[in-house]
Amino acid sequence: VVPAEFSPFELGVAAEVFALPRPELGEWYEVRVCAACPGIARARGGIFTASISHGVEAIDWAETVIVPEAATLDDPADDVVVAALARAHERGARMVSYCTGAFVLAAAGILDGRTVATHWRHAARLARDYPQVTVDPNVLYIDGGKVLTSAGSGAAIDLSLHILRQDHGARVARHVARGMVIPPHRDGGQAQFVMSPVPDADTPDGVRAAIEYATEHLDDGLSIADLAARAFMSPRNFSRRFREVTGTTPKQWILFQRLIRVRELLEETEHSVEHIARVTGFGSAVTLRQRFARAFCTSPSAYRKSFRESAAERVAS
């Protein structure tokens, strides 16, 4: 769903990931681009125009609705679009927003009571204009089941590939990502942001159960033998299945989940590193510091400090 004046990039992400024919991957998406008033739409900056052939009836037709951006923050979209989005959500369609598209979904009341992502520059504004909506400015995207939102432009790619993974499995997502010469998922390393881990629809039950258990009990020991038992598999087979689902080994995955939790606690609380280590399943603060440094190239306390500073800047501007 695009406004009369649209951003080429956001629309382009949706087109690239979902609309390009991919005969080698079997059944693919049928995509319709629509606007409140079908006809000529201008690219932002006026460098070219596009012909939009569908009106809001396409929203009623779709199983998945992508809103790549808002027309403006003051008036995110035409009333007819907002109404159609509300209808689509009501009947159970999957609603997706990129960047400022979250403002449009919010206007339709779809984000009420949810935690969502949007461009960091507008996160505060979204939270202010829609008090029912919780905004998390620190993630690339948030998968809320039937409602998925993503942050600034680049995150649209991450969310789109995530959806691909949900629909068609990790292999297909990797294939498309490789074609676009983009890492299939960003994590650790340089990236300061992270996605929420969600198993595919076709994840083996045992692995799913083990992941759920692990997510709930990150502060426990969590040996691989234990997890394998919960999945009713041998340790050997469990690691194999686990890798197919998550792309990493169980220990690596657990470690990463713990580090995510550590980062949250560093950002949101004043607990000591010692204390955080205890409640996140690290046996000692020393171990935590080592792992943290390797993953994020800083120490926990330095991370907390720089996070506070950049948060302060954001408030100031």
Partner DNA sequence: TGGGAAAACCGCCAGG
Partner DNA sequence: AACCTGGCGGTTTTCC
Contact footprint for DNA (CB under 7 A): 223-225, 233-237, 239-241, 243, 249-252, 255, 282-284, 286-287, 290-291
Distance CA 172, CA 179 (A): 11
d(CA 139, CA 193): 5
Q: How far is the CB of 243 from DNA (least distance, A)?
A: 6
Please give the Cα distance from 28 to 40 (Å, whole number): 27
Shortest distance (Å) from residue 285 CB to DNA:
9
CA dihedral (117, 119, 120, 121) positive or negative = negative
CB 227 to DNA: min, Å: 8
Whole-number minimum distance, CB 287 to DNA, in Å?
A: 3
When the beta carbons of 184 and 250 are compared against DNA, the nearer one is 250
We find the least distance from the C-beta atom of residue 202 to DNA, in angstroms, to be: 12
Residue with tokens 């779709």: 62
Least Å distance, CB 171 to DNA, is 13
Helix ranges restricted to H, 37-122 = 57-61, 79-90, 101-107
Residue closer to DNA by CB (options 53, 284) is 284
How far apart CA 174 and CA 165 sit, in angstroms, is 8
Residue type, 86: A
Compare residues 25 and 80 and give the one whose CB is closer to DNA: 25
Q: At what angle do helices 285-296 and 250-268 cross, to 10 degrees?
A: 100
Q: In angstroms, what is the minimal distance from the CB of 289 to DNA?
A: 7
Beta bridge partners of 67: 97
The residue among 207, 217, 289 whose CA lies nearest residue 257 is 217
CB of 25 to DNA, least distance (A): 18
Q: CA nearest 219: which of 263, 270, 262, 273?
A: 262
- Which residues are CB-neighbours of 240 under 8 A, at least 6 positions away? none
Nearer to DNA, 128 or 236 (CB): 236
Residue nearer to DNA on the CB measure, 24 or 313: 24
Q: In terms of CB distance, is 30 or 219 closer to DNA?
A: 219
Cβ atoms within 10 Å, residue 233: 19
Structure tokens at 78: 């035409």
Place of tokens 């302060």: 312
The nearer residue to DNA, 8 or 188, going by C-beta atoms, is 188
Q: Which is nearer to DNA, 50 or 295 (CB)?
A: 295
Q: Are 79 and 35 in contact (CB under 8 A)?
A: no
